Each structure stands twice: as C-alpha cells, then as structure tokens.
Structure 1
Amino acid sequence: MMSTATADTIPKIGIMGAGAIGLYVGGMLAECGVRVVFAARGRTMASVQRGLSLSRYDGFKAALKPEQYEVGGVDSLADCETVLFCTKSGDTEAAALELANSLKPGATVISLQNGVGNVELLKRLLSPYEVAAGIVPFNVVRLSPNAVHCSMEGRVLVGQSKASTKLADLAAHSRLQLEIHDNLDFMQWGKLLLNLNNGLNVISGMPLGRQFRQPGYRTVLAMAMEELLTVLDVAGIRVIGATRTNPRLIPKVLRLPTWLFRIAARQQLRMDDTARSSSWDDLKAGREPETRFLNGAVCSLAEAHGRKAPVNALICRLVDEAFARAASPEMSGEELLALARKAAA
C-alpha cells in the first residue's frame, strides 16, 4: 500500500470508460492507494459512487469505499496526468472528442481497448496529446454495475510513453500485474488473434472453460486464426503474441485432441466458470456488437489484399443475428464447425 503522507504527490490516473476492464484496472490501482478518477455516466456512475467490488480467480476480494477513488463525468479527468482509455471500439470517436475538451496540457492517453486501429484513431483525434497502446490479454466479467471479477491470470501490457514508467511504478505497489513492452503495435495483432474467440462465445452461449472443452469450437477458432495469420503474411504485417505462447502455434494447439489440449494449454485454461467474453457481456447489456472491430477487421484486411476470410465473415454474421434477437443461438460446436467448413469450401 502507498503512504498517505505522499498522496498529494501521486499522479492522478483517469479511467475513460467504466466498463469491466476500466473498473478492474482502475479499481486495482485505487485499492493500493493510487489516486484514480472514473469517468462514468448513468447507472454506472450512480452505482460506483456507492462503492466498488473487486474479485479474482485466485480468491482475492476487495470492497472499495467511495472515498478511495473519484467518480464523475468526463470533465473530472481534467487534472489527470494519465488517462486509460477503456471504451468499446465503437465508442472511440465520440469518447475521444468528448475527452479532448477536458485533457490537461501534457497528458498521456493509453488505449486498453480490443481490436486494432483505435490507437491510430486516438492519435488523430487527440493530437497533440501523446497516445500509447496497451493490451489486456485476460478476461474480466461484470457481475453488476459496480462489481467486476477477473476470471483468469494475466498482465496488463503498455507501450513506451512518458507516462508508462510512472504507471508501472504505481502498479508495482498493487496486485495488478503491469509491464512495459516495445512493439505494442505488432502485439495488438496478437491480441486480436485471441479476441477472435469473443464472437464464438456469443454463439456458444456457454462459459469459456466449457467452450474450450469442445473440439468443434476449438477447430472453428483455429480456422479463424489461420485466416488472420495468412492475411497478415500477405500484408507483410508482423505479429507478436500477447501471451507467452507463439501466436503461430496457437491454432495447432487448438486442433489437438481434447485430452492433449488440456495438458498443452493448462496455463491458459486457468480460469473459473464465470469467464465469458466481453462480447457476451455486450449481448446481455443490449450494447452494439464489437465484432466488426475483431473478426470484421480480419475480413477488411483480407479484402484490401484481394483475399477472403469466410470463417470470420460467418462469425460476424452469426453474432449480428444473435444481437438482433438479443439471445445466443447456443449452437453446438459440431454444428458451427459444419457451417465453417461449408463457408471455407
């Protein structure tokens, strides 16, 4: 924990986007004494103003009192040296334009969003402020408007910026694992590789742990990943894994027999039964699907290079249909695999 005697000298960290990731990362920093300000609205603001509950797969629990952090509108971020940008990709432009009116001179914005392209968009909309990339390669679920649960192990990764070292120093006093990495642009493609499962989780309608035990779902995910890796090669884009596993090995591991997969991927499968994708949370909350920034990004990149990505296009279509019905089709892995093979053929 940080000394209260030095509280006034601790830089404020702003959280733009009080969703599952924003509340968890900000909450874990606030739990150890970091001065955190959440920009929220509506039901979320009213709930977080009453307190914030944090929990993790390893049994850690914390109930933060309102006096341990600040909550307000976007203008409450005006005195923050660093702002962690955690909105949904579809909200990036509107949120960035709103934030631009409140940022203090010299502030740094670090994107912790899914998908690719958000950092470039933020750099354009928030010029001349410094914008850096960040990655959250683990799962956090929203249990209620002011309660979040981290269901698996992982580290927050941030790129180089003038604020990154200070942020890493603050996180070092907390239970949040945060590291600075070079080449975050390439690593974002590695994160996208993992995020291709978000839509599949909507289609399956089941916890991630159960989904990964079904070979049909794993094979479809491997096919979607292989489409991305192929088009990245065509585009000459380098990819670095967002986890310790070589991204080019992941599809091969997914295709292993289930008994062998559970041995080879035992570290990655360290998750509890609450683990769901952020797209599943969006479905339940009635938000717009983020799939066009994930599987849709694969299709767009493929089209730009004269290729196709039929499995990713199939996932986009099925997710759009699920959101239109406001319900998961709860399709079996074998049924989905049959559709994927037909599409790929």
Structure 2
Amino acid sequence: MSSGNGEAQQTRIGIMGAGAIGLYIGGMLAGFGSLVAFAGRGRTLEALSRGLAITRLGGFKIELKPHQYRAGDVTTLAGCDIILFCTKSGDTQEAATELSKVVNPGTAVISLQNGIGNVDTLRQCLPECDVIPGTVPFNVVRMSPNAVHCAMDGAVLIGPGSSSQRLVAAASNSPLAVEVRDDIDAVLWGKLLLNLNNGLNVLSGVPLRRQFEDPAYREVLALAMEELLGVLDAAGIQPAGATRTSPRLIPKVLRLPTWLFRIVARQQLRTDESARSSSWDDLVAGREPETAFLNGAVCRLAEDHGMRAPVNRMICDQVGRAFAQAQSPRLPGRKLLELTRSAAE
C-alpha cells in the first residue's frame, strides 16, 4: 500500500477482523483502488500473502495480488482514517482493546458485526474514536482461507458520522454499495430479526435456499421473529428493514404457501446453493457461536421487561448443544417445529 503524493488524500481503510465479511468488503475496496489494510492472524495472514479471490452472485470475479493491500497484525491499522470492525461479537472487547493501543483519536470505527450491543462495547473501549453502527444484510461465504463468495445482493448500511460519506465515496469506485441510514439503530433491530435464522441454519444443516423451501423451517423462524417483535413492542423499539419491506410483514410472508412464498420473496431468495449462515461457518471452523448475541439478545430484552422468549431460548440451547458436539443435528423441519411448539407451551 503505497503512500506517494498521488495517494496522500485517499482514505485509508482498515479491516479489523479478516473473516468472510472483512475479506469481502476490504477486498472489494482494495480491488478498485482504495488503500486497505487487513488485521488478521495465523492462517489468514499466510493466505493473504498469496492473494485474495472474490466472487459474487451473477458471475463477478476479481483476483487481488498481495501488493494491492497490506496485511499484518493490529499495528497494520495504525494511521487508518476508517476502520471497519468485522470481528465476531464474542471477540469485540478483546479486539477493541488491542485496537485502542494503535488507533489515532478521532478515527472512525464502523461496526459491521452481527447482534446487538457491539457498538456500546466499542464506545467503551475506544472513547476517543467516532464509533458508527453499521450492518451487512447480505450473505458472504468463505470458500477457502483466501477466497470469499458473496451469495446475495445488497448494500452495506452504515449510520451517519464524521467519515460515513468518505466510505461511500471510496466504495463508489467499486461494485460494492454503501448506504448511509439515519435510522441505523432501528435497522440493527430489523437485521437481528433476520439473524434469528442463523442458529436455525445450524440446526437444519442444509443450505439457506433449501431451508426456505420447507414450510416447517419457515414457521419456526416466523415464531422466533414474532417473539422478538412482541418484546420490541414492550420495549418501545420500532425496527426498520434493510429494504422497503416492513419487518412486521416478514412472519406473514414466511407463512405463505411455498409456491406463493417463492414469488413474493423472489428477491430475497436470489441466492445460490453455497449460501449458509455465518453461524454455520462458525460451527465448521470450530469457533464459538454468536447465538448469545442474536437469539440470546431477544431473551435478555424479554427478561428486562418481565417477559419470556421460550422459542429463542430453545434455539440458543439447541445451537449450544450442536457446537458442543461440533456438528449439526440436521433436524428435519417437522421435528424442529415440534420442539419449538413444545417449548412455547
């Protein structure tokens, strides 16, 4: 990553957490001229020393050479103007503490993580930084240590902040879409609604498209979503969708007959057979599950308001068992629906 006079005014972008999302977004920016630095470890750094391959739904492909970006430990991010924080939720505090030792005051740190609560943790650990909420509402699969595939369409959504438009400008040279949303906090709750399927994907053991073909799996997801919506009502929180679709309509759409569901949700189903949830990737990689920050967040919010969230609690428990056994139980849709209805009684 050169620092010649011609590049002096370019926005320097750091990626904290070089997993599937971090590699994809950083790679898309680097591949189209942005100055990008990846902070990673072990196998990822070794892989990045050989290059980075990115593919997308529809046939897009780009192969980056190592000279098109920088990669190293957290010190590689020193001097970056914007840092995209892409670690797993369970690693937020440790990673933010590491970052605090090298980041400059006033640096924009944009959280692109799943779950609720990461932004608060970042603001506590990085009090002199401009921490901005964000979310990635599309699916990215890690095909190998240095190859990622984006299996869905969508834009990176970020909140307003001192450097939000700088990131939009940097992305404008690439096929990566970045949008600023004034209602980003509401969008994060809407994204959580969709992320409730992450654990279900672990329990089903099948790709997302096949899972959504089964009305029983869709019913379980609808019940989990309705539970969250009820808790949000009690908390006075109004969720917003990443698209024009109201989050409150999603459970109704999930319950449509499969032939009609395919028509109504055709844009959301525009994905390929490789698409699985990030929780599935965590299971395969032997990482800790993020369920505590997803379905577990529903349970905690429910408890705060004197309510129960038995469906989401059941999902947390079942996913915990799957990770403890290091394999998916591959529950058929009807079996998972039976467990769900039993838990809700």
Say yes or no: TM over 0.5. yes
CA distance in 1, matches of 2:129, 2:321: 39
Aligned to 1:185: 185
Alpha-carbon displacement from aligned partner over 1:207-237 (angstroms, at most 9, x marks no partner) = 0000000001000000000000000000111
Match of 1:248 in 2: 248
CA distance in 1, matches of 2:197, 2:44: 27
Alpha-carbon offset, residue 322 of structure 1: 0.5
Alignment coverage as a number of residue pairs:
342
The 2-side partners of 1:242 and 1:231 are apart by: 20
Residue equivalent to 1:326: 326
Pairing 1:160-171 to 2, within 5 Å after superposition? 160-171=160-171
- Tell whether the 8 Å contact from 2:143 to 2:149 is kept in structure 1 after alignment: yes
Map 1:1-345; keep pairs closer than 5 Å: 6-345=6-345
Q: Is the Cα contact below 8 Å between 1:27 and 1:52 reproduced in 2?
A: yes
Letter in 1 for 2:245: T
> Counterpart amino acid of 2:15?
I
For the residue of structure 1 that corresponds to 2:63, the secondary structure is strand
Distance 2:18 2:225 in 1: 30
Question: How far is 1:5 from its partner?
Answer: 7.8
Cα distance in structure 2, aligned partners of 1:175 and 1:150: 12
Question: Contact 2:11–2:170 (CA<8 Å) still a contact in 1?
Answer: no
Rounded to whole Å, the distance in 1 between the matches of 2:146 and 2:340 is: 38
Matches of 1:132 and 1:335 in 2, distance apart? Answer: 41
Identity fraction in percent:
63
Question: Aligned equivalents of 1:5 and 1:51: distance in 2?
Answer: 26
Separation in 1, partners of 2:239, 2:322: 31
Quote the offset at 1:15 in angstroms: 0.2
Letter in 2 for 1:57: L
Task: Answer yes or no: is the 8 Å Cα contact 1:137–1:243 preserved in 2.
Answer: no
Secondary structure, aligned partner of 1:248: helix
> 1:186 Cα deviation (Å)?
1.2
Q: Distance in 2 between matches of 1:238 and 1:120?
A: 19
| 1:228 maps to amino acid | L
Task: Indicate the RMSD between aligned Cα atoms, in angstroms.
Answer: 1.0
Distance 2:59 2:251 in 1: 31
Does the Cα contact within 8 Å between 2:84 and 2:109 map onto a contact in 1? yes
Question: What SS does the aligned partner of 1:271 have?
Answer: coil
Q: Which AA in structure 1 matches 2:157?
A: L
Whole-angstrom distance in 2 between the partners of 1:326 and 1:6: 50
In 1, Cα distance between equivalents of 2:97 and 2:269: 39
**TM-score of the pair, normalised by structure 1:** 0.98
Question: CA deviation digits over 1:141-160, x for unaligned, max 9?
Answer: 00011100000111000111
The CA distance in 2 between the partners of 1:267 and 1:167, in whole Å, is: 26
Distance 1:9 1:297, change over 3 A: same
Contact kept? 2:13, 2:37, Cα under 8 Å:
yes
CA distance in 2, matches of 1:143, 1:205: 17
- Alpha-carbon shift at residue 49 of structure 1 (Å): 1.5
SS at match of 2:271: coil
**Deviation digits for residues 129-179 of structure 1, max 9, x if unmatched?**
110001100000000111000001110001111111111011011010111
Task: Find the residue that maps to 1:327 and give its secondary structure.
Answer: coil
Q: Mark the runs of 5 or more structure 2 residues left unpaired by the alignment.
A: none
Provide TM-score, normalisation by structure 2.
Answer: 0.98
**Alpha-carbon shift at residue 336 of structure 1 (Å):** 0.4
Q: Name the SS of the counterpart of 2:280 in structure 1.
A: helix
Distance in 1 of aligned mates of 2:179 and 2:225: 26
